[in-house]
Amino acid sequence: MTRSNPKSLTLRGMADGLPFVLVIGPFGLLFGVVATEAGLNLAETMGMTVLVIAGAAQFAALQQMVADTPIVMILATALAVNLRMAMYSASLTPWLGKAPLWKRAAVAYLMVDQVYMLAHLKYERDPGLSLADRLRYYFGTMIPIGPAWYAATFTGALVGQAIPPEFALDFAVPITFLAMIAPMMKTLAHLAAAATSVLAALAFAGLPYGTGLLVAAAAAMAVGSGVEVAMEKRRAA
């Protein structure tokens, strides 16, 4: 078991999470602006941000709300976008599954893409860390990311139209996900799932109420799982 200074793991997590503030800030600002333009007041915008704390799902749900989509479809779309969190949780269970219930609940609430990516890579690189140190690192990564997301959303909702369009805040959305996805494309299964999601999303973009996103998500998971199973069988043969 690796011994380490407890504070060093928290500080290491903070240092690793800090660069993501560069994209989390514009991402949050953009959501705040879009939410107020869609008719949400400050309390509703911040309530959604604090309760959901998932930018992609928030944008997807907001787009559906603006289009007067039935509530069932709004919930289904947000759920489909956030299905990756279930896979994140499953992959972290071997590392954090023995933590007390309240700590696992905190981990679940604070599980955003950036935190998951950093934690998963850290645990794989240093498997000798104790459970306590894994948790310190995990929560440390969220110290700069969480407040930045809340503060940026609040600012965007408060300032709204005063932000010049020349700032092009929408660049933050693709940049954020590219920065997270690229380092994780390690296996054929990952590549197959990513390619399937892109192709399916484009192919079914015309379906009503954004249901093409649901189809793309399901197809990507099915293809990725299928490729992973085939690779496991091949290795076992």
Q: Can you give the residue ranges of every domain in the chain?
A: 6-184, 186-237
pLDDT tens digits along 39-63: 899 999 999 999 988 888 888 888 8
State the pLDDT at residue 2: 47
pLDDT tens digits along 148-189: 999 999 998 988 766 666 555 556 666 666 665 666 666 787
**Segments of the chain with pLDDT less than 70:** 1-6, 161-186, 209-210, 237
Angle between helices 113-125 and 131-159 (to 10 degrees): 160
